[in-house]
C-alpha cells in the first residue's frame, strides 16, 4: 500500500496518514509502534510530553526500516520555550528516539499568556539550520498566533497541527494556513469519542454507501480535504482499518454533508482552547 505524500513549503514531503501515539502508555508504545510499522505506517507523531519517545525509538531501531523511509515528528513542550531551552529539549528527544534528526519539530502550544512562542519558533528555525530537524512548525496555533510568528520571524511554519474533526473544523485557521502554504494536521480526527460522530446521518450514510466503517469514512473525508491525519489506536486490527482508506472516494455530496456537521459556533471543540492553555 502506498500512502500519499504532500509537499511542504520547505520542499520536504510528508506522508498524509500516520500513526499518533498521544496517550499511548509508555510500556505499550514499542509494541504499538512496531505493529504500526509492520502494517505499513511510516509517519509517527509523538511529543516530549507524551512520555513515550523511548518506546517510539525502540520500535524504530528494531524495525530495520531505512531512516529515509520514515517520517518522525516530536514536539517542544510549554516549559521549554525560553532562552536556549529548545536546544536542550530537542537533544533530549533525539536521545530518547535514538535519532540524529527528526523530520518535523513543532512548538506544541502557543501558551500566549507567557508570550514566548515567537522566540520558541525562532529557536526551532535555528535547530533546523543546525540539521537537528528537517522541517519546523507549530501546533494548536490560531490565526493570531500564526500572524505573529510569520511577521516577527519572517519564516512560515511548514505545518500547524490543530484539533480538527467534523464537528470542529477551524475553517478560519485552515484557510489562513492554506493561503500561505502551511499544511494542516488534525489531532483528534475522530473527535476522541467525545460525541456521537459515527451516529450522525452524514457519516453513517457515507460509510454504508461505500461499505466501510464510519471511522474510515471520516478519515477519508480528512484526506480528501487535504488534511494530514494520524488516528490513534493500540489495537492492530484498528491500525489496519485506519490505514485501509485509499480504496474508495467520497462523493462531493458526501463530503459536503460531513462538512455540515460543524455548528460553526465553536461548540464542537472537545479539547482545550489554545488561549486558555498556558
Q: What is the CATH number of the domain that holds 121?
A: 3.20.20.100
Tell me whether residue 44 is in a domain.
yes
pLDDT score at 54: 97
The count of domains in the chain is 1
Contacts of 131 (CB under 8 A, 6+ apart): 101
The residue annotated as part of the active site, out of 50, 105, 168, 195, is 50
pLDDT score at 50: 96
User: What is the residue range of 183's domain?
Assistant: 5-192+227-232
pLDDT score at 2: 86
Tell me whether residue 209 is in a domain.
no
Tell me whether residue 155 is in a domain.
yes
Tell me whether residue 18 is in a domain.
yes
Using DSSP, state whether 237 is helix, strand or coil: helix
Tell me whether residue 50 is in a domain.
yes
Task: Name the packing angle between helices 53-63 and 26-39 (round to 10°).
Answer: 40
Nearest CA-CA partner of 245 in 210, 196, 197: 210
pLDDT score at 3: 95
Tell me whether residue 264 is in a domain.
no
Q: What is the pTM of this model?
A: 0.97
Tell me whether residue 54 is in a domain.
yes
Task: Note down pLDDT in tens along the chain; length 278 residues.
Answer: 689 999 999 999 999 999 999 989 999 999 999 999 999 999 999 999 999 999 999 999 999 999 999 999 999 999 999 999 999 999 999 999 999 999 999 999 999 999 999 999 999 999 999 999 999 999 999 999 999 999 999 999 999 999 999 999 999 999 999 999 999 999 999 999 999 999 999 999 999 999 999 999 999 999 999 999 998 888 999 999 999 999 999 999 999 999 999 999 999 999 999 999 99
pLDDT score at 233: 86
Tell me whether residue 207 is in a domain.
no
Catalytic: 19? no
CA distance 108 to 33: 21
Amino acid at each position: 500500500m502506498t500512502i500519499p505524500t504532500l509537499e511542504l513549503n520547505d520542499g520536504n514531503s510528508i506522508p498524509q496518514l500516520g500513526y499518533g501515539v498521544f496517550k499511548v502508555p509508555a510500556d505499550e508504545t514499542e509494541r504499538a509502534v512496531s505493529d504500526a510499522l509492520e502494517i505499513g505506517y511510516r509517519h509517527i507523531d509523538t511529543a516530549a510530553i507524551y512520555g513515550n519517545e523511548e518506546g517510539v525509538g525502540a520500535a524504530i531501531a528494531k524495525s530495520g526500516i531505512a531512516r529515509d523511509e520514515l517520517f518522525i515528528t516530536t514536539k517542544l513542550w510549554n516549559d521549554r520555550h525560553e532562552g536556549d531551552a529548545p536546544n536542550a529539549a530537542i537533544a533530549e528527544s533525539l536521545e530518547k528516539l535514538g535519532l540524529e534528526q527528526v523530520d518535523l519539530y513543532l512548538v506544541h502550544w502557543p501558551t500566549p499568556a507567557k508570550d514566548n512562542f515567537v522566540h520558541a519558533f525562532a529557536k526551532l528555525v535555528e535547530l533546523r539550520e543546525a540539521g537537528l530537524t528537517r522541517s519546523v512548525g507549530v501546533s494548536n496555533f490560531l490565526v493570531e498566533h500564526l500572524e505573529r510568528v510569520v511577521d516577527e520571524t519572517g519564516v512560515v511554519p511548514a505545518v500547524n497541527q490543530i484539533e480538527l474533526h467534523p464537528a470542529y473544523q477551524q475553517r478560519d485557521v485552515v484557510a489562513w494556513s492554506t493561503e500561505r502554504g502551511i499544511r494542516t494536521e488534525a489531532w483528534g480526527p475522530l473527535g476522541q469519542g467525545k460525541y456521537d460522530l459515527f451516529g450522525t446521518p452524514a457519516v453513517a450514510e457515507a460509510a454504508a454507501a461505500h461499505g466501510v466503517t464510519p471511522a474510515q469514512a471520516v478519515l477519508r473525508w480528512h484526506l480528501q480535504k487535504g488534511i494530514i491525519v494520524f488516528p490513534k489506536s493500540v489495537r492492530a486490527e484498528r491500525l489496519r482499518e485506519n490505514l485501509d482508506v485509499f480504496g474508495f472516494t467520497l462523493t462531493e455530496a458526501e463530503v459536503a454533508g460531513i462538512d455540515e456537521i460543524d455548528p460553526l459556533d465553536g461548540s464542537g471543540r472537545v479539547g482545550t482552547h489554545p488561549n486558555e492553555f498556558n
